[in-house]
Structure 1
Amino acid sequence: MIIGFKRTQIKPATVLRYLAFIMEIVISKVCCSSVINVSSAANLTKKRKKILIIYVNIIPYNKIMTKTILIYDNQRSEWDSVQSIKTNLLASYNLLENVQYEEYSITIDTTSHELYCIYERIVKSNPDKVVFVDGVPHPSVIIPLFKSENFKDKFEIIFHIYGDFTIKLSEWANIESVLKDFNCKFLCASPKQVDLIKKFIIDSDENVELCPFAIDSNTYFHSEDLRKNTRHQLSIQDDEIVFCYTGRLSYQKNIHSLINYFYQVYRVFRLKCKFYIIGEFDDLGAPFIGKHFPNSYYFNKIFDVYKDLPEIFREKLIFTGKLSSGELNKFYNASDLFVSFSVHNDEDFGMSPLEALATGTPCIITDWGGYSAFRSEYCKTITTKIEIDSIKIDFSLAAKETLKVLHSKFPRKEVSDYYQSKMTQKSTTEYLKNMKTPTRFKGFSEIMHTTNSSFKANPGSPLSDSKICMNAYSDLYKRLYSSYES
């Protein structure tokens, strides 16, 4: 606190009385909110027709500068969604006020010596928080060095959790004993992921919290001019309905079911439409239940599906390949409906649906994992249920909801504004600002160690039950991912 006053002819005793009066106000304000309005103090003196001016400057508790270490891989991720998430998270952190940052990059090529040098700098910095912005490489490469006796004050450790948490249980288990010396927070991207991660952590209520990922509103936005120009460039007529999917063309994303849905919508409803499928193929299967595919397997599977379709429909089904974010924004704006039927166990959030919604494009998506968080009148979610060897999707409901959404003709600006107000970088900053103080980490739960043991015992098919049938979901899978289904 700084108090000063101008030279004046007022007697010293009078000055002291004014100081006592102002200090009384200051103390009462500090007790309530740790702040005093300087201009009101000046007004008080004016009301008494004196020329005394007192300057009071108090730094409130919640304005004290904190020191935060941000750790992430500064190389571009091979996953476009992860790269986008990482970039937007860093932008969200930089919007926080009264935080002093130090940033360190750890990549898969970082040597042991370089890791130790980073650790020494962190020790010297004596931060309030250490934040792991992404999960590759896993935090376990440096966490073992964080032994609490090496730090003057224990800092909080914050982890942003991605969809690969279950796959990397072994790495998490390796750092359990070290984490028990710290207050830890596991930030999850969606409410259903919060439910999943809580199953892995003892007394998890104070250690697991929601912090959604965000989109960059300068990259994905609504524009009627962009919609009009893009549709003109693509020779899309005004009365044509455009469906789109963006993302990986993978078994994990259920593209074979998506194409069949597109065909049934076209065949049954006789719509004048086009279907754009945007992205690259991969051969990632369902390793949790032992489905592993050879190179080009899924491309060949989709090609076989494509060949069996009537030629008149094949002309309306367009594969564009991978597009830049700028091109994606154009296609989203040109589209009338985004559709995705992913039921992948890594579906912790869903960047593609959010990007589409941010441009004003309504969605039909599965009620699964992170997708469920987007549910609204503009985004219909379709019932899912884990069965013996598959996850059932209610496609009849999908067809009905498709017609409802198309007939609703929501104003695109209205759709865009709704999601832009909820899931941009500034929104994530608010979650970070209001994050509850983490408590001491008590360890991982019994089901976490049971799942980890299953991965070690049967790495090729850790969550399957061959006693039922090949590629059947085990009871353990159902216990874990019951959080993700409808």
Structure 2
Amino acid sequence: MKVAIVYSFKPSEWFSCTIINKNLREAYETVYDDIMYIDYTRKRTFEPDDIKKLAESDVEKIIFIDHQPTPIGFLDYLKKKYPDCFNRLEYTIHIFGDFPLFMPEWRTVFDLLDGMPLKFVTASEKQRKFITKFIKQEELISVCPFPVDSKKFNFRIESRNEARAKFGLTDEFIFLYTGRLTFQKNITCLIESFCELDSQELLPPNSLLYIVGGVDSLGVPYLGANQLLGEYFRSIQKTLEKFPLSKDKVVLTGRVENDELNTYYNLSDCYTSLSTYHDEDYGMSVAEALCSGLPAVITNWAGYHSFQLEKHPEYCQLVSTDISRTGPTFDQEDYRNKLGSQDYLKYDRTEISKIYQQNFSIKACAEKLENIQKSEAVPFQGTTGFMKRITNEQFLRGIEVFKSEATREFNDLYFEAYDVYAG
């Protein structure tokens, strides 16, 4: 069988999406021998000759694997120019975390695909539940994690020893966060909790907190609360100044290259994240850390929930979360109890790495994708009334669709949409 995979050949400004894109292609290359790749740029442009070749080919399925742009321009052109081709294809769309930001476009995409055999693939179970609020047919939505390159992210005791020697580490216990340093990732809360537990001697001796990543100014766009460049970094610095005895135990590395990340995963001892980012559909950093054998203490928010495996829940401890008018929250006491319990000291890293690679590696995800593609595709029957409501509101209010104008906090529509992400 021949399939077409559509994505932007130019890397995304979101580096994690670029990695996800590459790993998904590798997974599909394991499933299919004959793949036609089509460039659909960030500006919604494509080569008409590519669409013509698609129409003249024996491609049976078309798979969209990128987060942006939505398939709206591609599908509209294909349907108008080559209706016979459009009507004979089966469609698969991988859904990313930015889905809620572009509801009017997605509604048009779904109108174009009405009646067509269609499959949706989400990266986590909670995202699947989220998408069911907008799609009438729950059976169209499958789950396959975004794959991790296990050749790059793995645990080897030799690599750990080399990495720790390189950084001059001996008996230090390293807590690690990797990813963007941004308001909704709760980096200041992470620092506060670490410093307070350290001052109370509730952490392993000689504990350090490594924070690996660059600062952004994203703020909370849904509330129109963007930050000035450097504003969040100043918040981090102010937080550190509150803990003069512990601040030197927090190491801010800045952004590092992707090829260096496995070094940090191997030299560290426990991964931790307090992210309550609204559209945390998955968590590539968490997946890479676990595949590198790190036990984790993370929030039970959105896609993070899927990292706690049913047969081995102890390897990834989840911190309770909730939603409020001011946004998602996490239980600080629960987090401090889990970090202070030091249960993460008990586990064998080689075993953790092995188990998570069995679930999240490119090979493991290829098997899941193959099963999804073998399943019967049924005709798409449209969207829910809830999606129509959000789309209409977004036409009027843009990205601030979930903001109450009266209180400038989150409105009832937000609670109706995001209740499934808390836990």
Please, what TM-score do these two structures have when normalized by structure 2? 0.93
Determine if the alignment matches structure 1 residue 143 to structure 2 residue 82.
Answer: no
Larger deviation, residues 415-424 vs 166-175: 166-175
Q: Which residue of structure 1 aligns with residue 157 of structure 2?
A: 224
Alignment correspondent of 1:457 = 396
Instruction: Say whether 1:428 aligns with 2:365.
Output: yes
When residues 167 and 267 of structure 1 are mapped into structure 2, their CA distance, relative to the original with a 3 A threshold, is same
Partner Cα distance (1:70, 1:282) in 2? 31
Q: Would the aligned equivalents of 1:115 and 1:142 in 2 still touch at CA under 8 Å?
A: no
Q: Is residue 379 from structure 1 mapped to residue 307 from structure 2 by the alignment?
A: no
Query: Match for residue 412 of structure 2?
Result: 475
Counterpart of 2:134 (choices 184, 189, 200) is 200
- For 1:320 and 1:401, the matched residues in 2 are separated by 25
Structure-2 residue corresponding to 1:129: 61
CA contact (8 A) 2:202 2:340 kept: no
CA distance in 1, matches of 2:97, 2:176: 24
Please tell me the root mean square deviation across aligned C-alpha atoms, in Å.
1.7
> Matched residues in 1 for 2:298 and 2:104: separation?
32
Cα deviation, residue 459, structure 1 = 2.1
Q: For the structure 1 residues 367 and 463, does the alpha-carbon distance in structure 2 shift closer, same or farther, using more than 3 Å as the test?
A: same
1:365-404 correspondence runs (5 A): 365-375=298-308, 376-404=313-341
Match of 2:224 among 290, 298, 307: 290
What does residue 276 of structure 2 align with? 343
Distance verdict in 2 for CA 1:371–1:186, change over 3 Å? same
Q: Residue 363 in 1 paired to residue 299 in 2?
A: no
Contact 2:270–2:344 (CA under 8 A) maintained in structure 1: no
* Alpha-carbon distance, 1:270 to partner: 5.0
- State the 1:303 CA deviation: 2.1
> Is 1:247 the counterpart of 2:185 in the alignment?
no
Give the count of matched residue pairs. Answer: 413
Q: Cα 1:345–1:407, aligned 2, differ >3 Å: closer, same or farther?
A: closer
AA matched with 1:95: T
Q: TM-score, normalised by structure 1?
A: 0.82
Query: Are 2:376 and 1:437 equivalent residues in the alignment?
Result: yes
Matched, 1:418 2:351: no
8 A Cα contact 1:206 1:438, kept in partner = no
In structure 1, the residue matched to 2:9 is 74
Give me the whole-angstrom Cα distance separating, in 2, the residues matched to 1:457 and 1:174: 16
Gaps of 5+ in 1: 1-65
Aligned to 2:190: 258
Q: Distance in 2 between matches of 1:454 and 1:178?
A: 21
Identity %: 31
Per-residue CA shift, 1:95-131, capped at 9, x if unaligned?
015x4211111112564xx443322221111421000
8 Å contact from structure 1 (residues 126, 152) kept in 2: no
Q: CA deviation at 1:474?
A: 1.2
**Residue by residue, what CA displacement relative to the aligned partner does 1:345-371 show, whole Å, maximum 9, x if unpaired?**
110001111111111111010001100
Contact 2:101/2:399 (<8 A) preserved: no
1:182–1:286: structure 2 CA closer, same or farther, 3 Å change rule? same
Equivalent of 2:119, from 175, 185, 201? 185
* CA–CA distance in structure 2, aligned partners of residues 157 and 461 of structure 1: 31
Matched residues in 2 for 1:460 and 1:221: separation? 39
Q: Tell me the alpha carbon deviations over residues 416-451 of structure 1, each in whole angstroms, 9 at most, x when there is no partner.
A: 111011111111111111112221111121111111
